Amino acid sequence: MTPLALLLASLLLLLTAEAPANPTQMWAFHSDQEIFHSAALTNGPYAYAGSHAGDNNFVRQFLIAGDGSPAFSVSGQDWTVAASATGDYWAAADNESDNSVVFSLWASQSNESLGEYSFEGVMPYGQDMLRFSADGATLAGLFGDAATTRVIVWDVPWQVPGIRLLYESFTPVGGPPNAFALSGDGAIVAFIAGQHCHVLNTMSLQIYGVSNIQEQANALDLSQDGSLIAYGYSEIRLKSFNGTSYSTEWTQEISGYHCQELMFSPSGDYLASSWTKNDNSRILIRLYDLETGEEIWTFETPESASNLQDAAVSLDMSSDGNWLAVGTWGRGVETLPEVHVFHRGFSVPYFSLDMPGSCLDVRLSPDGNYLMAGGTHQHTTANPAGGDLFMIDLDLESLEPSVGVGTMIEEFAWFVEDPICGIDLSAYNSGFVPVVFDTVYWLEDSMSGRPVSLGMTPGLLNPGQSAQAMMTFSPQLTEEFQGSLAWVLEFTDPEGVRRISDTLLIFASFSHLVAVDPSAASPLSYELLAPYPNPFNSTTTVSFSLPIETETRLRVFDVLGRAQGILAEGRMSAGVHTLNWNANSLPSGLYLLQLETSLGIKVQKTILLK
């Protein structure tokens, strides 16, 4: 039976599919004085945030599925917060005004205090200086000053005397502690102080080495089993444990950039890194293959058109390593999203969030379903007063394909709110062997439009790699459309056997959401209409409506986030505005129209087909 015949014969066996991914803002929390620089997120039901910079600062517990009102708060001066992945315990460190640090542990469900440890004359550094191990059995903290660095390790829950290790490093230090990493079982801890990286075993108290980085660095991470360490600044260095110490496997650098954050995938097959251009005009995210050090993919923001600095200051990853979150300072008035979420197989963000100011810390729940972002209410270089927290439901469950009984058909239902003429798709090889696909079969079901073209280049798809596809419809799908679309990919396995896809995960490529400013009223009416025609050949009409007179800018971006031109700019009156866009100088592809005003951002997709 041919694959197409198999599809037709199996149509009645298809399972009901879910709607496509639709990330939504669940709640937002605003403070007029505090800045949120530390966050922690569990698989549920709790989220945590620590603040500083205000006259009175707090560490707070929130319900992920709540309304954004704190469920529990403790006042203090400068809070760093952490939580176990299971959500059983959470901890915080408060840098008090007299340069003393107080570490506290709570039971999450009851918020019962399980004890405190105080240290005088020292302070914690940075929002990541308090960490639970992945298994939740170990809590570690880093604190000190320019002369002395201390690492403290507890078993969880705390027992008297409770401290497994209190390690003090006096020389060589060369500066305060500024990076910290903990293995998944809590047995290995690494930290950077000044220009030196220290690694020690928290069980045997053995020191595995002190490496001279020869420059101030804050990018550092350990693999889950502690066998690998990565650190650096102008270049990153990967080292592996040889039984007594760590030896270099490979180094990588990007000319004109410095590395700010590093994170190993839990599976130990890739290393995520964030880089900032030396003049702070742009950032890039790069994934490296751990075995070879080769680049897997790179994402880069457009060059800054202003003097506002950008920096990639926070990375987090789901526990399966499939989802990566990045937090950046952004560009303020340039309205570049500060937060991006990537699937490991794609260099195009699955989701982006535009915050009012800068993001200082971003967290994924371990299962990847939720995103928490905290930061400033204005750009961080503008001496900001106040900050914001956002909780996003990433709706990852809807990305899971339904599988037909007895077949390898993958299906989605597309519930569209507006007429749509194109759907962007990606095929991702989630298996363990390379495949060669060369045929894509489509089947319509209850559709008011039918697929008329598909762009997907046949070829080799290695494990962890993706291929892009674009499907267009004629006529446009209407808002009443609630049909389903089924497809299979036929491919050749390494032994030359023809097969139907069973390890190819296919889903819509990405979406974009603009955060609602929790301190401002929402606009009553503000729209960027879908271009007409769409898809279009060289010229299309773009319309938008403004409820008030406001400064307005309408820009075009490609799918990599690179600006391709400004269609309208200046102060515009209330009403409907229409213009023609001539894209004759641009290549065929998917483009984003972004309308920016004081009311927020609106985005529409359009397809240029020449």
pLDDT tens digits, one per residue of 36-87 = 999 999 998 999 999 988 788 999 999 999 999 999 999 998 899 999 988 8
pLDDT recorded at residue 222: 96
Residue 399 sits at φ, ψ, to 5 deg, of: -85, -15
Whether residues 471 and 498 fall in one domain = yes
pLDDT of 116 over the 60 cut: yes
pLDDT of 37: 92
Task: Write 274-280 long-range contacts (CB < 8 A, 24+).
Answer: 274/312, 274/313, 274/315, 274/326, 274/328, 275/312, 276/310, 276/311, 276/312, 277/310, 280/304, 280/309, 280/310, 280/311
- Token pair listed for 511: 């979406």
Give yes or no: residues 143 and 264 share one domain.
yes
Indicate the pTM of the whole model: 0.68
Q: Give the confidence band of 10 by pLDDT, cuts at 50, 70, 90.
A: very low
Single out the residue in 486, 511, 536 at which a domain terminates.
Answer: 511
What is d(CA 369, CA 191) in angstroms, rounded to the nearest whole number? 30
pLDDT at 492: 54
Q: Is the model's pLDDT at 255 over the cut of 90?
A: yes
- Report in angstroms the alpha-carbon separations of 556 from 207, 218, 593: 54, 35, 5
**Cα–Cα distance, 157 to 161 (Å, whole number):** 12
Asked whether residue 184 carries a pLDDT value surpassing 80, the answer given is yes
pLDDT band at 471 (very low <50, low <70, confident <90, very high): low
Note whether residue 516 is domain-resident: no
What whole-number distance in Å separates Cα of residue 333 and Cα of residue 507? Answer: 33
Averaged pLDDT for residues 88-108? 86
Predicted confidence at residue 434, as pLDDT, reads 54
3-state DSSP call for residue 8?
helix
389 is a domain residue: yes
Mean pLDDT score across all residues of the chain: 76
Query: Could you report how far apart the first and last alpha carbons of the chain are, in Å?
Result: 37
Per-residue tokens: 492: 């050749």
In a domain, 521, yes or no: no
For tokens 């900001």, the residue is: 384
Q: Are residues 371 and 407 in the same domain?
A: no
454 and 349 together in one domain = no
**Of the candidates 353, 369, 394, which is a domain's last residue?**
394
Clarify whether residues 374 and 390 are in a common domain. Answer: yes
Length of the chain: 610
pLDDT score for 337: 87
Domain count, the chain: 3
What distance in Å separates the CA atoms of residue 359 and residue 356, rounded to the nearest whole number?
Answer: 9
DSSP bridge partners of 189: 182, 200
For residue 62, the tally of other CB atoms under 10 A from its CB is 25
Q: What angle do CA 71, 73, 76 make, to 5 degrees?
A: 170
Q: Same structural domain for residues 427 and 319?
A: no
| Residue 543 counted as domain residue | yes
Ranges of beta strands (E only) in 24-66 are 24-31, 35-41, 46-52, 57-63
| Maximum distance among all Cα pairs of the chain, rounded to whole angstroms | 78
pLDDT of the residue at 144: 77
Residue type, 270: Y
Q: Which helix (H) or strand (E) holds 3?
A: helix 3-9
Looking at 204-208, 294-298, 420-424, 532-536, which range is the least confident one?
Answer: 420-424
What integer pLDDT is reported at residue 45 of this predicted model?
94
Give the CATH number of the domain where residue 420 resides. 2.60.40
437: number of CA atoms within 13 Å, CB side?
25
Same domain, 168 and 238: yes
In sequence order, the 6+-apart residues with CB closer than 8 A to the CB of 470 are 422, 423, 424, 425, 453, 454, 455, 456, 590, 607
Do both 319 and 411 map to the same domain?
no
Instruction: Say whether both 390 and 455 belong to one domain.
Output: no
Q: pLDDT tens digits for 487-541?
A: 445 555 555 555 544 333 333 322 334 454 444 433 446 788 878 777 777 888 8
pLDDT, residue 449, reads 40
**Which of 144-153, 194-203, 216-225, 257-266 shows the lowest mean pLDDT across its residues?**
144-153
In 392-527, where does DSSP find H-type helix?
none
β-bridge pairing 511-514 and 351-354: parallel
- Segment 247-272 shows an average pLDDT of 94
pLDDT at 443 over 80: no
Same domain, 28 and 13: no
Distance CA 476, CA 270 (A): 41
Can you read off the two tokens belonging to residue 136? Answer: 């939740």
Place 466 in a pLDDT band, splitting at 50, 70 and 90. low
pLDDT band at 454 (very low <50, low <70, confident <90, very high): very low
140-173 pLDDT, tens digit each? 988 877 777 888 899 888 765 578 888 877 555 5
Q: Do residue 205 and residue 224 come from a single domain?
A: yes
Q: Where a domain ends, among 394, 411, 430? A: 394
Evaluate whether residue 520 is within a structural domain: no
Q: Tell me the two tokens of residue 346.
A: 């794609």
Can you give the CATH number for the domain in which 342 is found?
2.130.10.10
Whether 519 is covered by a domain: the verdict is no
- DSSP for 519-532? TSPPPSS-EEPPPB
Gap between the Cα atoms of 186 and 165, Å rounded? 11
Q: Give the domain extent around 187.
A: 24-394
Q: What is the CATH number of the domain that holds 539?
A: 2.60.40.2550
State whether 328 and 411 are in the same domain: no
Cis peptide before 23 (omega within 30 of 0): no
Least confident segment among 286-290, 340-344, 465-469, 593-597: 465-469
Q: For residue 41, what pLDDT is reported?
A: 95
Q: Domain for residue 518, yes or no?
A: no
Give the pLDDT confidence score for residue 306 in this predicted structure.
66
pLDDT at 91: 94
When pLDDT is averaged across residues 309-332 and rounded to a whole number, the result is 89
Say how far apart CA 542 and CA 554 lie, in whole Å: 10
Q: What is the DSSP annotation of 432-454?
A: SS-EEEEEEEEEEES-SSEEEEE
